[in-house]
Amino acid sequence: MLWEVDIFAAPGLPDVVGTETVADAADLGFSPNLTLGFARGYLLQGDLSREQVETLASRLLADPVVERASIGVVGDAVLAESLAGKTGKIVYVLPKPGVTDVVADAARQTAADFGIEPEAVRTFKKYWIDGVDAAEIERLARKLLANDAIEQVAFDELGFDSLQVGSPYKFELKTVAIRSMNDAELETLSKQGQLYLSLVEMQTIQKHFQDLDRDPTDVELETIAQTWSEHCSHKTLAGRISYSGPEGEIFFENMLKETIFGATVKIRENLGSDDFCVSVFADNAGVVKFDDEYNDCFKVETHNHPSALEPYGGANTGIGGVIRDPMGTGLGAKPICNTDIFCFAPPQFDPNELPNGVLHPRRVIKGVVAGVRDYGNRMGIPTVNGSIFFDKRYLGNPLVYCGDVGLIPVDKSFKEPKVGDLIVAMGGRTGRDGIHGATFSSAELTSESETLSGGAVQIGNAIEEKKILDVMLEARDRGLYNAVTDCGAGGFSSAIGEMGEKIGAEVDLNAISLKYEGLSYAEMWISEAQERMVFSVPKDKWPELKALAESEDVEAIVLGEFKPTGRLVLKYDGVTVADLAMSFMHDGRPPVIRKAVYEVPTVEPITVKPEGVELPGQTAVSKTVACPCCGKESGKTSATLDLEAILGSLNVASKHWAIRQYDHEVQGGSVLKPLVGVACDGPGDAAVLRPRLTSRRGLVVSNGMNPNYGDYDAYWMAASAIDEATRNAVAVGADPTTISILDNFCWGNADKPEVLGSLVRAALACRDVSVAFGSPFISGKDSLNNEFRPEGEEPIAIPPSLLISAMGQMDDVAKAVSMDLKEAGNALYLVGETKRELGGSHLSLVRNWVGGQVPTLDVDVAKRTYIAVHKAIQSGLIRAAHDLSEGGLAVAAAESAFAGNLGAEISLAAIKLAPAADGESTALPGVENVDDYWKLFSESNSRFLIEVPVEKSCAFEGILCEAKVPFAPIGKVVEKPELTIFGADGTVAVQGDLADLKLRWQKPFDLGGWYAD
Amino acid sequence: MKPNVLILRAPGTNCDYETAYAFELAGATTERIHVNRLLEDPSIIDRFQIMCFPGGFSYGDDVAAGRVLASKIRLRLFDAVSRFKDADKLVLGICNGFQILIKSGILVADDEIGAPATLTWNDSGVYVDRWAHLEVKSDKCVFLRGVDKMYLPIAHAEGKFMGRDAAVLDALEAQGRLALRYAPGNNPNGAVRDVAGVCDETGRVFGLMPHPERHLDKTQRPDWTRYQNEPDFATKVGDGFAIFKNAVEYFA
């Protein structure tokens, strides 16, 4: 029998979900007449009495203080009634069979404590919808209520009366007749089999099996495709590239090795005995020294394509996956903080312009933030740092970067699987989830991707992963295993294939424990079901590990053994279903050879963009928005209006709506939080935490990214990203000589020479700046083919998007500095040189300008600046420091002022602009006092706004002079809550009330409606 | 005597380390013990003086926050915990621990109708992490002795305190059990009567949504850099420390 329990808010209490859903519908352009009532519910299958179901409803499923439950057998008339008195068409939304439903699992397991044992449970959402016709309701279900990738919808009635998942699997060995195929057939096989391998690669596989004089089995083919996928092997960037650009012709045997890895090698040589790298580009995360007892490790991953199809699940499993990287580093690190950086299309995107197969940005944004929130918070890992960027080109292909830092004992930082060790899988069971994730993430998204690859989308189970972590850390400290790695893309195939690469592995697929029946041996092997780790366990330690896992309700099973055969052997029902040479899997892939070209656009004078021409990613709000207080714009200078517009542009605007949903303090080590200042609402430059509660040593985490610059010159975009990440870290107190960095390249289709060219150009900048700063890259990742192809249209490529994540350290967290102004009377300094650099700037964005010089970087000045600023911080001379980035000095001054609720009086007179180069245009369209504008809004790198107590000014200036760092005393902190910036001629250039400026900055991305007028 | 603290952990508990650290800083000894050990042998708790349910997402908070573990306690550990209570010992529940205490009937006993009070979804409908100013409204609670104000972080989605009706709330208030309140303008979740923490009729069992273990150190306050230069900064301790100190001193 199938029982249904509908749960409603008790009389007099608000229907929170219902109200929220109506608001979301309005955002998507649905009729204001729409009314909606919500109930959450459970389907309970089994031989249960009404009394038993009532017991569960009143004591487990519903909260009698605030909720009411309605019970019936599926189909009963009573279930059509809403206890909240709502009427209209009924819509059920349920997870598709096999999709992770953790609430249902918890309900089923806990029911047993009540002595009641349903065979199966599933949750659902139920809506009563009125005010619009059936077609609109159907559209609402598709656009907002359900996601077809993971959920099924039923109208009026449920339409089934039993919960069956899976049916028995009958073993049948499948081989693929690849030897006889012609090229066309090979390509078809690659595409339709979702192998996504190139013809050359397919031919190599064909040749291999022709030599073996047999055809491959399906699972052999899948295993090779996983191992050779872009996602797992980074074959393009680590491949041969012939590049021609402003640097001339360069031929790379291995582009990454010769740029980014090469830089790290050189830095380590230069550092000699001061080298703080422990393990770089070798393990699942890069490892560096933290103190005498611990190292820390850092990894940042992307989960873009799954997040495009199912934002919640994609982001959820994205963060869940990257957390397993430090967990799978060395003998297992303890995750201590998360970071996340997202790129979206603007939330105001016109719903009517949405191409087929694309979710509205609002839905993507809310889903992604919720997905990261629910996983990180449940794991008990603070999310301490991040950014969100907006650009229309991210519409069909949002970017979701997730990072995790782990802490690992010095003597547990390396792993080595041993011959004869058991292959042990721990954690969640294996289902059909995520099949083809590795190959799919390397392919271009199309409007059919969802139907094609829905299986690649999953929902995570954070608690399963937390349980593994609890067991793993205990087992690690008891020395119960020799190696551990995570099951990520490619599932067991990649995890065991990599771990056994140097030895050989034999696996019995029958041992894999399944979520439900019906998986073929091939599906079991390549499934990317989440929350699984693989351990290399000495036979004599296995009983203790097994007992430990069982004692915490974690499933651990022996899948096989690492045997010294150099082969990967898979068996099912005693039959050998795969027998591959590890050497062919890992070294047999033909080198990818690519052409790359880059042409640096010549620097044009800044002009207003021609009518009708769309600036890439125009996301600024109108700069004539009325003042929320008085509704007028009376008597404001143009620079004031420009400042207000930039503060209100989405990239700059406050991200509190997202930040406040993340636990950024769990584990008790939080020092500088994402939001700082008097009212805890100012934009901190970087996070500082104290990972060891018994120590004062601090870890600093920051990031740098600016896709706008990529439209001008990929080299300076990359250089600026490294500089931004570094200056953010230095601003809060990080020692610049302890900084290590990570690269994450998200690019378009790298088969196109000009696309790959911009990537190579960026990588060259990474090499140059990393070496000059002495900041080694310790890990990185790339995600290519970030394009979306709307039906019958040209693909939309994302802008080149390089994220630089930085990790630094400080000896005593009590020396940390925040960006909010502290005390009236203190002196304000602009540190660093201001050049005429407005190309790709936010002033250009809000003014609709094009052209101009993109910010460049003088690495020597930058390095001197960071060392000097750090010295001043260590000497206790600095009360507040804020890095200058989007919007330049004007924005930094406004942010520091309203964060400290203290005014600032600033004069631009003392600032010396770098001399203009020959023929460089210094004019700005429609601007008279041009030099003031350059000084206010230029986005030149390596600059800070710094507050210094007057009595310490002399010492502060001394340090800067000694280091030959350019600086200018520009004004002072004042009581009156007002920002006043005087132009070089002494007239007022910018004037704003702090409360007003802050509100303009807080409102544009205030999706939760915190800051109403 | 130096009290021994049982830090109860379950799948999804995630504040156990820093909570144990807080008690140790206050002079106690601690053991982190998995609930499965207690279910196997409830008598384990008899060797402890303080029992603490730390924050986190026990069993994922799936179904409802704290509900699964609360059900296990109701059905399988209620006698052991009641015995512990009656032995003049202390019980503390922080955040998820508060949700567990109230949903298991340990903190506010069921009456003939059922559970008189609960913790449910924030008015905003979403998880929120922010700091809140708190006021102590009664001298009943052992953990709040000598405290009148605190500034602590909250981090939860289901922290809105609700009573079944006004009568229930009046009774609890009259007994001085609605001990900890959000200061005016600081209520983060819509809790009735701004309730942030509740104690039982003895004052020895206390549950609160804010996280005292997250404000032990002078550098944990979100605005601490504004006080960096003050003479007493070096010796400052966080507001949350008092709660653990009081617990330990109860056995002095």
* Nearest chain B alpha carbon to A551: B36
Q: Which of B12, B219, B233 sits opposite A378 (nearest CB)?
A: B12
Query: Does residue A656 have an active-site annotation?
Result: no
A177 pLDDT higher than 60: yes
- In the numeric block, the tokens 């870290």 are attached to A729
Q: Which residues of A touch B62 (CB under 8 A)?
A: 102-103, 105-107, 463
CA A658 – CA A979 distance, rounded (Å): 27
B134 pLDDT higher than 90: yes
The encoded tokens of residue B203 equal 């004052």
Question: What pLDDT is recorded for position A450?
Answer: 44
Dihedral angle of Cα A510, A513, A517, A521, to the nearest 10 degrees: -40
Under an 8 A CB cutoff, do B219 and A813 touch?
Answer: yes
Interface predicted TM-score of the whole assembly (ipTM), two decimals: 0.97
Under an 8 A CB cutoff, do B223 and A105 touch?
Answer: no
Question: What pLDDT is recorded for position A445?
Answer: 57
Residues 530..559 of A with a Cβ closer than 8 Å to B: which? 551-553
Q: Which residues of A touch B233 (CB under 8 A)?
A: 814
CA A799 – CA A713 distance, rounded (Å): 12
Mean pLDDT computed over every residue of chain B:
96
Q: Which of B11, B120, B216 sits opposite A463 (nearest CB)?
A: B11
Question: What pLDDT is recorded for position A622?
Answer: 37
- In the numeric block, the tokens 């793993």 are attached to A472
Per residue in A888-944, pLDDT (tens digit) is 999 999 999 999 999 999 999 999 999 888 778 889 999 989 999 999 999 999 999
Q: Which of B24, B34, B62 to mutate to test the interface with A (most CBs of A within 10 A)?
A: B62
Q: Which residues of B touch A662 (CB under 8 A)?
A: 129
The alpha-carbon gap from A996 to the nearest alpha carbon of chain B, in Å, equals: 21
Greatest Cα-to-Cα distance within chain B, rounded to the nearest angstrom = 57
Q: Which of A668, A670, A817 sits opposite B225 (nearest CB)?
A: A817
Q: Exposed/middle/buried for A356, CB within 10 Å: 0-12, 13-18, 19+?
A: exposed
Helix A462-478 and helix A361-379, axial crossing angle in degrees, nearest 10: 30
Q: How many CA atoms does the CB half-sphere of A467 hold within 13 Å?
A: 26
Residues 209..238 of B with a Cβ closer than 8 Å to A: which? 211, 213-214, 216-220, 222-223, 225-226, 228-229, 233
* Nearest chain B alpha carbon to A102: B62
- In A832-889, beta strands by DSSP E: 849-850, 880-883
- In the numeric block, the tokens 């850092």 are attached to A298
The alpha-carbon gap from B56 to the nearest alpha carbon of chain A, in Å, equals: 7
The encoded tokens of residue A901 equal 């609720």
Per residue in B47-64, pLDDT (tens digit) is 999 999 999 999 999 999
A165 pLDDT higher than 70: no
Q: Which of B129, B230, B235 to mutate to test the interface with A (most CBs of A within 10 A)?
A: B129
Per residue in A400-443, pLDDT (tens digit) is 999 999 999 999 999 999 999 999 999 999 988 777 655 555 56
Q: Which residues pair with A993 in a beta bridge?
A: A978
Question: What pLDDT is recorded for position A453?
Answer: 43
Range with lowest mean pLDDT among A10-24, A285-299, A556-570: A10-24
What does residue A694 show for φ and ψ, rounded to 5 degrees?
Answer: -90, 5
The alpha-carbon gap from A470 to the nearest alpha carbon of chain B, in Å, equals: 9
- In the numeric block, the tokens 């089923």 are attached to A108
Under 8 Å CB-to-CB from B87, ≥6 apart: which residues? none
Per residue in A474-504, pLDDT (tens digit) is 999 999 999 999 998 888 999 999 999 999 9
* Nearest chain B alpha carbon to A679: B223
CA B107 – CA A20 distance, rounded (Å): 33
Which residue type, as a one-letter code, is found at position A32?
Answer: P
Q: Which residues of B touch A676 (CB under 8 A)?
A: 222-223, 225
Residues 72..101 of B with a Cβ closer than 8 Å to A: which? 72, 75-76
Under an 8 A CB cutoff, do B60 and A665 touch?
Answer: no
Which residue type, as a one-letter code, is found at position B67?
Answer: R
Q: Which of B75, B164, B226 sits opposite A114 (nearest CB)?
A: B75
Under an 8 A CB cutoff, do A552 and B36 touch?
Answer: yes
Residue A377 at interface with chain B, using a CB cutoff of 8 Å: yes
Query: Does residue B213 have an active-site annotation?
Result: yes
The length of chain A is 1013
Beta-carbon count within 10 A of A85 CB? 10
CA A977 – CA A973 distance, rounded (Å): 10
Q: A439 with A196: CB under 8 angstroms?
A: yes
Query: Does residue B135 have an active-site annotation?
Result: no
Under 8 Å CB-to-CB from A202, ≥6 apart: which residues? A178, A186, A187, A189, A190, A195
Q: Which residues of B touch A552 (CB under 8 A)?
A: 11, 34, 36
Residue A20 at interface with chain B, using a CB cutoff of 8 Å: yes
β-pair type (A593-597, A240-245):
parallel
The encoded tokens of residue A689 equal 């935490």
Under 8 Å CB-to-CB from A547, ≥6 apart: which residues? none
A451 pLDDT higher than 70: no
Under an 8 A CB cutoff, do B223 and A676 touch?
Answer: yes
The encoded tokens of residue A515 equal 């979520």
Q: Which residues of B touch A467 (CB under 8 A)?
A: 11-12
A258 pLDDT higher than 90: yes
* Nearest chain B alpha carbon to A336: B14
> Is the dihedral angle over the CA atoms A84, A85, A88, A91 positive or is it negative?
positive
Question: What pLDDT is recorded for position A197?
Answer: 92
CA A828 – CA A359 distance, rounded (Å): 46
- In the numeric block, the tokens 């100190």 are attached to B245
CA A889 – CA A968 distance, rounded (Å): 12
Which residue type, as a one-letter code, is found at position A2?
Answer: L
Q: A735 with A808: CB under 8 angstroms?
A: yes
The length of chain B is 252
Q: How many CA atoms does the CB half-sphere of A221 hold within 13 Å?
A: 25
The alpha-carbon gap from A693 to the nearest alpha carbon of chain B, in Å, equals: 8
CA A359 – CA A309 distance, rounded (Å): 8
- In the numeric block, the tokens 């040209």 are attached to A794
Residue B11 at interface with chain A, using a CB cutoff of 8 Å: yes
Under an 8 A CB cutoff, do B127 and A817 touch?
Answer: no
A621 pLDDT higher than 70: no
Residue B166 at interface with chain A, using a CB cutoff of 8 Å: no
Its pTM stands at: 0.95
CA A819 – CA A896 distance, rounded (Å): 6
* Nearest chain B alpha carbon to A11: B164
CA A880 – CA A873 distance, rounded (Å): 9
Per residue in A606-619, pLDDT (tens digit) is 999 876 555 444 44
Q: Which residues of B touch A102 (CB under 8 A)?
A: 60, 62
- Considering chain A, what percentage of its residues have pLDDT values greater than 90? 82
Which of B52, B95, B141, B199 is labelled catalytic?
B95
Task: Collapse the DSSP code of A140 into the 3-class scheme (helix H, G, I; strand E, B; otherwise coil) and give the result.
Answer: helix
Q: Which residues of A touch B222 (CB under 8 A)?
A: 673, 675-676, 680
* Nearest chain A alpha carbon to B64: A61
Under an 8 A CB cutoff, do A668 and B214 touch?
Answer: yes
Q: Which of A16, A64, A106 sits opposite B68 (nearest CB)?
A: A106
Compute the average pLDDT of residues A34-51.
95
The alpha-carbon gap from B220 to the nearest alpha carbon of chain A, in Å, equals: 5
Under an 8 A CB cutoff, do A553 and B36 touch?
Answer: yes
Confidence of residue A770 (pLDDT cuts 50, 70, 90): very high
B11 pLDDT higher than 60: yes
Under an 8 A CB cutoff, do B21 and A693 touch?
Answer: yes
Question: What pLDDT is recorded for position A614?
Answer: 53
Under an 8 A CB cutoff, do B219 and A61 touch?
Answer: no
Question: What pLDDT is recorded for position A167?
Answer: 77
The alpha-carbon gap from A489 to the nearest alpha carbon of chain B, in Å, equals: 25
Q: Which residues pair with A990 in a beta bridge?
A: A981
What does residue A758 show for φ and ψ, rounded to 5 degrees?
Answer: -65, -30
